Structure 1
Amino acid sequence: MTSDMNAEGSRFSDLVERTELGYFRIKDLPSTEELQSYYSAQYYQEGRGSYETCYTPAELQNTREKVRLRWELIANRLPTTGRLLDVGCGEGFVLAHGLAQNWKVRGLDFSSAGVVAQNRECEPFLRTGDVFDLLEDETASDVRYDIVWLQNVLEHVIDPEGLLRTLRNLISPGGMLVVTVPNDFSRLQMQALDTGKLSKAFWISPPDHLSYFTAPTLRAIGSATGWECDELIGDFPVDWYLFNENSNYIEEPSKGKAAHFSRIELENLILENTLEDKRAFFTGLARVGMGRDLTAFFSPTKS
């Protein structure tokens, strides 16, 4: 690891520790029981995190088009129809897209509230409960999946390396794993802290987020757990707004709504372009460490 990475770790050593693979994790991890209670009893019912009870048409367009982009980026490597497993399927937008493509789909989550609220037609394909127990059931079955989708889940779990190894056992030959995580402890965030644009490391937020990844460490954890990163993209870099005092939504939360809808409008414009141009834009962001979220497209490492 670089000296810069070591310095970042020591700055927050009372809160996080750097793993051997380079990503950071919370020092005082919650128990499995505490996490299960948090997500099943609070997360969707209270509208916590990124899940809301009502979306504007522009927000729905944004969510669906981002799912479409990620699907299209791997479509040429997959069968025309196949099986999709969405682990931590949230509100079911990926399940809905898979159904529209005539795929067989299954979603796993702690709660059904998100799917019921946004994509009720996907409820018959949802299994709820402890996601890790459900994954054990999936592993014990003979079913394997052509796509395993893990969107904004890896940062939440106690053992992200163990989860990725488990998913390796569920992928079909030639299948793809799609992993989206926040881009945290990024160079951009550290620059904002160092120059006074941020007064605190807002992204350190247990029990919501327990592990923190950048593009290099996302590749590293994949490689260490049996996956090869075929492609990596960023999404819209809304955290650029932190560098303008008139749009710094972290230091002044009242600016958050305007920043959010500005991001939605701009990203929707970008998503109207051809697949080739969208790929160039979003892969370019990831190459220079930008994008609020990162999405890696992994294939099983050939033994």
Structure 2
Amino acid sequence: PCLSWKRIVGVFFLPFVLPAFAPRFKQEQSLTLGGAHPPQPRFNWSHLTPLELKNRSMGLGTASTGRGKPHFTLEGHKFLIFGGSIHYFRVPREYWRDRLLKLKACGFNTVTTYVPWNLHEPERGKFDFSGNLDLEAFVLMAAEIGLWVILRPGPYICSEMDLGGLPSWLLRDPRLLLRTTSKGFTEAVEKYFDHLIPRVIPLQYRQGGPVIAVQVENEYGSFNKDKTYMPYLHKALLRRGIVEFLLTSDGEKNVLSGYTKGVLAAINLQKVHKNTFSQLHKVQGASVNAGLLSDTSQAATSSSL
């Protein structure tokens, strides 16, 4: 086809126009190579799996670019959590692998699960972590398939279960106040944690396992009967050897009542609107200003589970 006069003029002036862009290109290239921009990571850390990552020293944390873009990190590298829930106690053990493989095939890199106290201790002092309640086997299978794990051990897990997953035998004591630091309840929690947490310790990230985070209780902001309860649970987990990233989870309107110092606040979302994160930002900003998030220098990440 014949060239139009515009194309002819464009081709004629092309040698004169291109040199004008060359210095700018060289300048941007020199800035990148000279350290003005951080080098690109060798690996996509969000796609690493538990079995691939052998050298571990820095677990899940938070960081900020300094331009209002906080993010999660793993081993100091930017890490995106793509998480979905599978409750092992609701799925026949024979189908665990199938369900985890499907979660992985959907593009997720993390599985979250509750731990039901009422099923693991159906009678006071009688614990069951076998068969369909074998938490350790489920977590290790997730690691084998290539998924990280976020545990939500409760004691209260909600999860559309009677009494929110608390054992019904707690109600035999009329003086016991659920989800508080009353003596009867904390004694029961201590005994439960004495059986549960030792099973979780070797599954943690720093121990070579897939557990990168643990939730402290569940949506306590909607209950909020005892100001000392959440700090008590926080210390109970730390005292037993939980060293991985800790978080709380509440509805967007209850996060101010449910968070605890030293733990990342997160919210559960049903829909996103203009002020979805307004309360969350107040909590996370206050936490950072008080120096409660040791892995971040500025703002914590606005996250949801």
Structure 1 and Structure 2 fold alike (TM over 0.5) = no
Greater strand share, structure number: 1
TM-score (norm 2): 0.32
Greater relative contact order: 1 or 2 (C-alpha under 8 angstroms, separation 6 or more)? 1
Q: Which has the larger radius of gyration?
A: 2
TM-score (norm 1): 0.32
